[in-house]
Amino acid sequence: MANSVTMLKIKTFADYQNEYKQSVENPEAFWEEKASHFTWRKKWDKVLNWNFKDYDVKWFVNGKLNITENCIDRHLPTKGNETAFVWESNFEDKPNRVITYQQLHDEVCRLANVLKSFGVKKGDRVCIYLPMIPEAVFSMLACARIGAVHSVVFAGFSAASLSSRIQDSDCKVVLTSDGSYRGDKTINLKSVVDEALETCASVTNVLVYKHTGASVNILSGRDIWWHDVVPQSSDRYEAETMDSEDMLFILYTSGSTGKPKGVVHTCGGYMVYTCYSFLNVFQYNPGDIYWCTADVGWITGHSYITYGPLLAGATSVIFEGVPTFPDAGRFWKVVDKHKVTHFYTAPTAIRALEAAGLNYVSPYNLSSLKVLGSVGEPINEEAWHWYNKNIGKEKCPIVDTWWQTETGGILISPLAGITKTKPSFATLPLPGVQPLLVDEKGNEITGNNVEGNLCIKFPWPSIIRTTFGDHERCKQTYFSTYNNLYFTGDGCKRDENGYYRITGRVDDVMNVSGHRIGTAEVESAINMHADVVESAVVGYPHDIKGQGIYAYVIVPSTQKNHDILRKEIIAEVNKVIGPIAKPDKIQIVSGLPKTRSGKIMRRILRKVAEGEISNLGDTSTLLDPAVVEEIVKTRL
Ligand code: WTA
């Protein structure tokens, strides 16, 4: 059965149409056949149990497996010496690291043994707070190998954010490094972990990888250097037997209210779907070199750096740096150097590199490229055309992949070279995915050339299973807005040919440089500043970031200079969340537009932030219309 996952690949548009039809008419038979291409220790008793009302979804019921056996062991007989990953450092003159499938196996097993020696058991949670180095992938897989649940936290989040994530899921161990490099910056990650752990009683051990050589505190009994224990450990570890529905990982993501929630994915369905979607969307062939520029701290890194490509036995580039270091040609230089065939990035990076100019593109030979991908936010037409013309040389299909942390894998996207593309359209659903558009009341909007809120009416194998520790929240957030539907939170158009175009969030979630940030989270961080009485945050169109963060802040007659105040507020947000949530604009106001019942009218604040002040709509329900005049007058 080794490598038979490549048989999952659709080859023509007619195949796609046929698979799609089968997947809707008989989803269970469809996914049963797909799942049969993987290595299971015990076959499932039933393909699917589902209920969107009380939200309960189980795929491949009672099936037993270990995902790492499918990511690694099954490839060893044929691909042991082939490259799983090539690592490209932040610094271009640093040598690459090449990790074969056999080496990946050995590293993962060593680390699995170390985790076991820390007393980590099946079901325990392990936090991973690492830069983009191969050890981040080893860590995820080592957890999966022993049946521990990983919770990767993006290494740009602050100590406070890290701490609340560790606490929420009661992590026992943290895997981190002394520091990280991002462009010309060096960050001392260990000190962030130290600060976070002051408020996390559950953590018994911290394993520290030496990467930057920064001096760090080693707390005796708790902190252990990676190089003191990992290389000496056995490179064998018999993978734990997991149930299809055992938790594989938790990944925290922002919503429109409250703290970030821990989205839970489980082993069986996630494995089948990430592999199936990877192979089909990218049309990866043996010998291709795939590069996804995301960070493993986000879902894209989980599904399309770690799991999907490894399940498919692919060769990938892992990149530690940023697109603009040492200059805006870095991505193209790396493509040239490693002869990358599949390149997957975010629109915000494309826009930033477009702005830098073609002088950064032209020195490099990009002829190895076959497929380009986009993810994380709507790609505007201009960026799409620039990408197509200057990077793909009009020869590479662009797969505009729409999906979410909660969906686990790509749901709407062209299949490279198979689906006819259309700029800024994610085009058609993958087999097994049944999208529909609804109006505000939840009535289905049928026909084409229509617009509505995007829902999905049938489960796919990698759908979110729960939000960690709070199933009710999962039910409320995704399955209660509309009866019997999964609600995505996105607005969407369907054109005359049935192609989907995602227009952006319809809730209070912003999408800043492809990162999801809840307005409520930023507001609560701003409100931590002692001088701030109240704040309201909205997104506004931003040339590079897609959306920027606009904050209205009430500060009562302070003596402080407003520029100093703004700097302090930004520092507060950095401290509470991290630099990604830092407001781009802070307008100091004396009041916020509220209804008589005290609700902030965000619609008005959004319009002012967007600069659409000529038509603010109905303001008659406002408690104090004069507030609006002031806000318009002092807008930034
Ligand atoms: C947005 C990222 C338009 C969308 C994988 C979604 C997109 C949110 C696209 C999820 C796309 C993602 N076109 N919008 N191709 N891909 N989005 O959870 O608003 O970080 O709801 O997952 O990003 O963000 P998340």
pLDDT of residue 192: 98
* Residue 462 CB–ligand 1 contact under 6 Å: no
pLDDT digits (tens, 9 = 90+) for 162-193: 999 999 999 999 999 999 999 999 999 999 99
- What is the C-alpha separation between 472 and 479, in angstroms, rounded? 10
Are 176 and 206 within 8 A, CB to CB?
A: yes
pLDDT digits (tens, 9 = 90+) for 378-434: 999 999 999 999 999 999 999 999 999 999 999 999 999 999 999 999 999 999 999
- Across the strands, what pairs with 345? 374
Rounded to an integer, the average pLDDT of 54-60 is: 97
Q: Which of 615 and 212 is assigned the larger pLDDT? A: 212
* Distance from the alpha carbon of residue 346 to the mean position of ligand 1, in angstroms: 10
- What is the C-alpha separation between 626 and 288, in angstroms, rounded? 62
Q: What is the pTM of this model?
A: 0.96
pLDDT of residue 2: 41
pLDDT of residue 599: 87
- Of 380, 402, 488, 501, the one to substitute when testing ligand 1's pocket (max ligand atoms within 8 A of C-beta) is 402
Q: How confident is the model at residue 231 (pLDDT cuts 50, 70, 90)?
A: very high
Closest CA to 343 of 371, 314, 365, 379: 371
* Residue 427 CB–ligand 1 contact under 6 Å: no
Model confidence at 128: pLDDT above 90? yes
DSSP line for 204-215: -EEEEE-SS---
| Helices and strands, counts by H and E, the chain | 20, 30
pLDDT of residue 375: 97
| CATH hierarchy code of domain 5-66+247-434+460-483 | 3.40.50.12780
- What is the C-alpha separation between 215 and 194, in angstroms, rounded? 13
Are 553 and 544 within 8 A, CB to CB?
A: no
Q: Where are the domains of the chain?
A: 5-66+247-434+460-483, 100-183+199-240, 511-633
* Residue 346 CB–ligand 1 contact under 6 Å: no
pLDDT of residue 436: 97
Model confidence at 622: pLDDT above 90? no
Q: How confident is the model at residue 558 (pLDDT cuts 50, 70, 90)?
A: low
* Residue 513 CB–ligand 1 contact under 6 Å: no
- What is the C-alpha separation between 528 and 511, in angstroms, rounded? 23
Q: Are strands 371-375 and 125-129 parallel, antiparallel or unpaired?
A: unpaired
Model confidence at 3: pLDDT above 80? no
**If you take atom 12 of ligand 1, which residue's CA is the nearest one?**
376
- What is the C-alpha separation between 140 and 255, in angstroms, rounded? 24
* Residue 253 CB–ligand 1 contact under 6 Å: yes
Domain 100-183+199-240 top-level CATH class: alpha beta
pLDDT of residue 1: 43
* Residue 402 CB–ligand 1 contact under 6 Å: yes
* Distance from the alpha carbon of residue 255 to the mean position of ligand 1, in angstroms: 13
**If you take atom 3 of ligand 1, which residue's CA is the nearest one?**
378
- Of 511, 547, 580, the one to substitute when testing ligand 1's pocket (max ligand atoms within 8 A of C-beta) is 511
Would you state the structure tokens that stand for residue 47, as one six-digit string? Answer: 């393909």
* Residue 505 CB–ligand 1 contact under 6 Å: yes
Rounded (10°) angle between helices 159-168 and 189-197? 50
Peptide bond into 260 cis (omega under 30): no
* Residue 376 CB–ligand 1 contact under 6 Å: yes
* Residue 345 CB–ligand 1 contact under 6 Å: no
- What is the C-alpha separation between 598 and 534, in angstroms, rounded? 13
Are 290 and 314 within 8 A, CB to CB?
A: yes
Judge if 5-66+247-434+460-483 and 100-183+199-240 fold alike in CATH terms.
yes
**If you take atom 5 of ligand 1, which residue's CA is the nearest one?**
404
pLDDT more than 90, % of the chain: 92
Cβ atoms < 10 Å from Cβ of 520? 17
* Distance from the alpha carbon of residue 345 to the mean position of ligand 1, in angstroms: 12
* Distance from the alpha carbon of residue 490 to the mean position of ligand 1, in angstroms: 8
b/e sequence 609-618, b meaning 16+ C-beta within 10 Å: beeeeeebee
- Across the strands, what pairs with 86? 98, 317
Q: How confident is the model at residue 502 (pLDDT cuts 50, 70, 90)?
A: very high
- Of 403, 454, 521, the one to substitute when testing ligand 1's pocket (max ligand atoms within 8 A of C-beta) is 403
Rounded to an integer, the average pLDDT of 288-305 is: 98
pLDDT of residue 234: 98
pLDDT digits (tens, 9 = 90+) for 319-337: 999 999 999 999 999 999 9
Model confidence at 593: pLDDT above 80? yes
pLDDT digits (tens, 9 = 90+) for 85-120: 999 999 999 999 999 999 999 999 999 999 999 999
* Distance from the alpha carbon of residue 402 to the mean position of ligand 1, in angstroms: 6
- Of 490, 499, 505, 512, the one to substitute when testing ligand 1's pocket (max ligand atoms within 8 A of C-beta) is 490
* Residue 511 CB–ligand 1 contact under 6 Å: yes
Average pLDDT for the chain: 96
pLDDT digits (tens, 9 = 90+) for 457-498: 999 999 999 999 999 999 999 999 999 999 999 999 999 999
- Across the strands, what pairs with 224? 207
| CATH hierarchy code of domain 511-633 | 3.30.300.30
